[in-house]
């Protein structure tokens, strides 16, 4: 017996179309009543149905039917032809948002992408694209973060002479300018110009987007030109216009241009808003001009704009950057008094500052305080702790901190891994560093330029400059977007390896690539040139820096002043100093020490003392280096009374003395044959327990390189061992000869060596006295 049910009668196409249309147009027929007819539907029948005149007047019925098919017979709706057949009905009934939603829901599944190809090159089966379709498609592709596909549709509109809506145009411009691609901004400019030619009248927002693009490329001249051209199109710059350019100027340290722009803004009758002031606070803090940042906050209050959490966070960051943690904590308290609750950014900044400048216990106390106040730790907080462990050389603890981070529900990010890689590189554990890089890749975290720069820094530190150069050039070919840090690291490596010509070649490569050097990179090239006696060439780089609109920092000026002093051209050093002071340079204690050392080295001690007294009278800060420079020079000229007066002043101000101070005085007394006074001085040192194990503050120490300090340490060990050995053998005269030599070279000896030498001198004096009595 045949148990199979009889086959369903095959409906012919007209009958099927009529039946489905009747069900869809019926007011009381549910959609699921269509289910028996779905097996009979084919792609051509469906397209006929979707484009039929009967349903064309019912856009929502069409949409409901299409979504029903998507869930019950998805293969039928996979073709973009279906979507393109529905859209004309939606457009004719002005259902633009529904049309866009339909496109946005379909595009992700269209991976070929067939829909995009049909919009650009329509087939006979689908309606020809109209302006509404092209315009809406641009918005859909932009929403799905595919602006380059949207730009191709815009180009079709350009060929058909169909102007897009202004909103569509601005949406596309904004998406292009923010898209991470090397040619997005160029395409953005092209779209802007083409839109204007098509008759689109740009508004202030259109210009603001393009200005933002120019600022991203550091083309500030073009950005300012656009501000002036806005009037030609009947629109005016607003706060966003000025804030965009102000932000770009401040990020590049171009505070003079920022001030001029602020003045222009006010002249146009625009009042700065809170964001304007916050941008300026940020700019001044990044340059370390904290007093100026505080004045901006005062101006805010005068304009009835109270600083917000962001303003305070920025100033707290500036204070922490300068090591002024107590002031930063007071500012946090001030926030609370104004009912502004410190957030996770506030705490992260303070925690990082405490780890860097104060004590780890203070940092961990702040972390506990966060929990007590209901402020949740975030990835940044954990990364700060990982960084502290690595800086302390505690890589096992750093790894444990990463595990705790994961246990707390936070995934390590590129910053976490870059910190670990940096730590392992510095510890010389390249195997673990590369293991971290491998783990990064396995977790789907792409190695970025920071990772690359970390490896470059390690290779340069180990003087593997050929490998570093190959890594740099190879990375560029593999598509890494290198920054000025990449080139600056290699430049510094070449300078340290005494290959200035190679460093200059790297500088030229950086400029050819169109990479805008930062202040730090300029300081690297300026410092390298000065180090090799090419200070006049360094001045050329300074002029280039100024022409680019940057504001040189203290390091820039101090490096050039030091360069002239090193070359023995004190007159030029002071001329440069005076000229830069007129241009808002604020000399610091390092400036003073460089000039003092330069004068003393050239035998101009009186001028040095005059400079010292002038500096003190202005209430400016001094340090142990300042005193050591003058005490050393006074001793060399036999002016021991004046040297001892400065020593007493130094002790009174709790600035020392240190090993260098003692070495300078002892060496000079010994050279002058005043052995008894040298012995008495050393005895007094021991009695008063004033010989500390602190590092000595040599003149010029602030501008001495890391390598020279390492050389000094090795020399100190060598001399200390030699002198101690001679003292053990009773060869005190030879020991004194080595001591004098070490003093002349500025090498500091350790405490035990000086004790051995002092003991030897006393024994020698006793034996001489005993022999005399006999």
The 10s digit of each residue's pLDDT in 214-266 is 888 888 889 999 999 999 999 999 999 999 999 998 888 788 888 889 888 98
The mean per-residue pLDDT over the stretch 528-550 comes to 88
- Percent above pLDDT 90 for the chain: 44
Short-list 173, 181, 175, CA closest to 204: 173
Q: Report the alpha-carbon distance of residue 60 to residue 419 in Å, rounded.
A: 56
Q: 705 versus 447: which is more confidently predicted?
A: 447
Tokens of 308: 């917000």
Q: Is 444 exposed, middle or buried (0-12, 13-18, 19+ CB in 10 A)?
A: exposed
* Topology annotation, domain 588-773: 1.25.40
Give the residue with greater pLDDT, 641 vs 765: 641
Rounded Cα–Cα distance for residues 425 and 89 (Å)? 64
Q: What is the mean pLDDT of residues 549-557?
A: 83
**Higher pLDDT residue, 734 or 602?**
602
Query: Which pLDDT does position 740 carry in this prediction?
Result: 67
Scanning the structure block, which residue is given the tokens 């500012």?
331
Mean pLDDT of the residues in the chain: 84
| pLDDT at residue 7 tops 50 | no
* Mean of pLDDT values over 553-575: 92
pLDDT at site 699? 56
* For residue 694, pLDDT beyond 90: no
pTM: 0.59
pLDDT tens per residue across span 744-753: 666 666 656 7
Mean pLDDT in residue range 716-734: 74
- Res. 2: pLDDT tops 50: no
Residue with tokens 């700060």: 384
Omega before residue 397 within 30° of 0, cis: no
In this prediction, residue 474 carries a pLDDT of 80
Smallest CA-to-CA distance from 205 within 254, 179, 166, 232 is with 166
Tokens 């019926």 map to which residue?
26
All residues at 6 or more sequence positions from 188 whose CB lies less than 8 Å from its CB, including other chains? 173, 176, 177, 209, 210, 213
H-helix or E-strand containing 14? helix 13-25
Average confidence (pLDDT) over 506-522:
86
pLDDT the model gives residue 440? 81
Q: How many CB atoms lie within 10 A of CB 734?
A: 15
Answer whether residue 766 shows pLDDT above 60: no
Residue ranges of the chain assigned to CATH 1.25.40: 379-447, 588-773
Under the banding of pLDDT at 50, 70 and 90, the label for residue 569 is very high
Q: List C-alpha distances in Å: 411 to 306, 445, 451.
A: 37, 11, 18
Helices within 339-409 (DSSP H only): 344-357, 360-372, 379-391, 395-407
Q: Does the pLDDT of residue 479 top 70, yes or no?
A: no
Q: Identify the pLDDT of residue 157.
A: 94
pLDDT digits 0-9 by tens, 286-296: 888 888 888 88
- What would the CATH number be for the domain defined by 379-447? 1.25.40
User: Best-predicted range by mean pLDDT among 444-448, 616-620, 735-739?
Assistant: 616-620
How large is the average pLDDT for residues 384-395?
Answer: 91
CA 182 to chain centre: 20
What is residue 695's predicted lDDT score, i.e. its pLDDT?
Answer: 47
Q: Which of 310, 321, 234 has its CA nearest to residue 286?
A: 321
pLDDT at 444: 81
H/E segment holding residue 192: helix 184-197
Lowest mean pLDDT among 145-159, 329-343, 630-644, 754-768: 754-768
């Amino acid at each position: 017996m045949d148990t199979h049910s009889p086959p369903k009668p095959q409906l012919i196409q007209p009958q099927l179309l009529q039946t489905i249309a009747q069900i869809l147009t019926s007011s009381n027929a549910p959609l699921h009543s269509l289910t028996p007819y779905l097996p009979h539907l084919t792609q051509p029948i469906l397209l006929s149905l979707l484009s039929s005149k009967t349903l064309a007047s019912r856009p929502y019925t069409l949409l409901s039917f299409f979504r029903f098919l998507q869930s019950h017979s998805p293969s039928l709706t996979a073709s973009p032809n279906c979507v393109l057949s529905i859209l004309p009905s939606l457009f004719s009934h002005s259902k633009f948002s529904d049309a866009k939603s339909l496109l946005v829901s379909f595009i992700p599944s269209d991976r070929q992408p067939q829909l995009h190809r049909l919009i650009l090159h329509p087939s006979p089966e689908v309606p020809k694209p109209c302006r509404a379709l092209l315009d809406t498609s641009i918005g859909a592709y932009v929403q799905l973060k595919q602006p380059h596909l949207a730009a191709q549709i815009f180009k079709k509109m350009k060929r058909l002479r169909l102007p897009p809506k202004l909103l569509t145009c601005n949406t596309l411009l904004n998406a292009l300018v923010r898209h991470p691609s090397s040619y997005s901004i160029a395409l953005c400019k092209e779209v802007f110009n083409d839109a204007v030619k098509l008759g689109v009248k740009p508004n202030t927002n259109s210009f603001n987007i393009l200005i933002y693009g120019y600022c991203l490329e550091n083309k500030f001249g073009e950005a300012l030109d656009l501000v002036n051209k806005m009037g030609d199109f009947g629109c005016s710059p607003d706060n966003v216009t000025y804030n965009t350019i102000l932000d770009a100027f401040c990020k590049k340290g171009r505070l003079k241009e920022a001030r001029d722009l602020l003045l222009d803004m006010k002249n146009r009758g625009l009042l700065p808003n809170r964001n304007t002031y916050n941008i300026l606070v940020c700019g001044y803090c990044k340059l370390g001009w904290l007093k100026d940042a505080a004045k901006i906050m005062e101006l805010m209050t005068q304009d009835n704009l109270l600083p917000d959490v962001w303003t305070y966070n920025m100033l707290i960051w500036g204070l922490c950057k300068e090591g002024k943690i107590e002031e930063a904590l007071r500012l946090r308290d001030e926030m609370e008094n104004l009912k502004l609750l410190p957030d996770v950014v506030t705490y992260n900044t303070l925690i990082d500052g405490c780890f860097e400048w104060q004590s780890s216990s203070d940092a961990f106390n702040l972390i506990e305080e966060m929990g007590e106040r209901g402020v949740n730790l975030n990835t940044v907080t954990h990364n700060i702790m990982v960084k502290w462990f690595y800086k302390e050389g505690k890589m096992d603890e750093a790894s444990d901190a990463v595990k705790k981070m994961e246990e707390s529900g936070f995934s390590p990010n590129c910053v976490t891994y870059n910190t670990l890689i940096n730590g392992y590189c510095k510890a010389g554990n390249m195997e673990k560093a590369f293991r971290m890089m491998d783990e990064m890749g396995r977790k789907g975290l792409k190695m970025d330029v920071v990772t690359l720069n970390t490896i470059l820094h390690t290779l340069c530190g180990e003087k593997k400059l050929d490998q570093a150069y190959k890594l740099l050039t190879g990375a560029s070919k593999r598509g890494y977007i290198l920054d000025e840090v990449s080139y600056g690291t290699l430049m510094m490596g070449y300078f340290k390896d005494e290959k200035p010509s190679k460093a200059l070649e790297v500088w030229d490569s950086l400029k050819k690539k169109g990479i805008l050097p930062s202040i730090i990179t300029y300081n690297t090239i300026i410092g390298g040139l000065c180090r090799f006696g090419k200070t006049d060439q360094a001045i050329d780089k300074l002029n280039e820096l100024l022409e680019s609109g940057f504001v040189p920092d203290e390091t820039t000026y101090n490096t050039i002043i030091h360069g002239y002093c090193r070359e023995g051209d004190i007159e030029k050093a002071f001329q440069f100093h005076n000229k830069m002071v007129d241009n808002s340079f604020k000399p610091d204690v390092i400036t003073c020490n460089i000039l003092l050392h330069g004068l003393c080295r050239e035998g101009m001690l009186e001028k040095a003392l005059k400079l010292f007294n002038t500096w003190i009278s202005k209430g400016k800060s001094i340090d142990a280096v300042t005193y050591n420079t003058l005490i050393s020079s006074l001793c060399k000229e036999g002016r021991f009374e004046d040297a001892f007066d400065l020593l007493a002043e130094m002790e009174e101000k709790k600035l020392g003395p240190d090993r260098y101070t003692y070495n300078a005085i002892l060496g000079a007394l010994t050279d002058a044959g005043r052995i008894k006074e040298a012995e008495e001085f050393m005895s007094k040192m021991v009695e008063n327990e004033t010989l500390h194990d602190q590092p000595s503050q040599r003149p010029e120490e602030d501008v001495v390189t890391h390598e020279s300090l390492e050389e000094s340490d090795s020399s100190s060990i060598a001399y200390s061992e030699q002198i101690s050995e001679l003292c053990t053998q009773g060869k005190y005269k030879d020991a004194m000869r080595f001591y004098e030599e070490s003093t002349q070279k500025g090498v500091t000896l350790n405490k035990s060596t000086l004790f051995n030498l002092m003991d030897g001198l006393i024994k020698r004096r006793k034996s001489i006295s005993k022999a005399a009595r006999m």
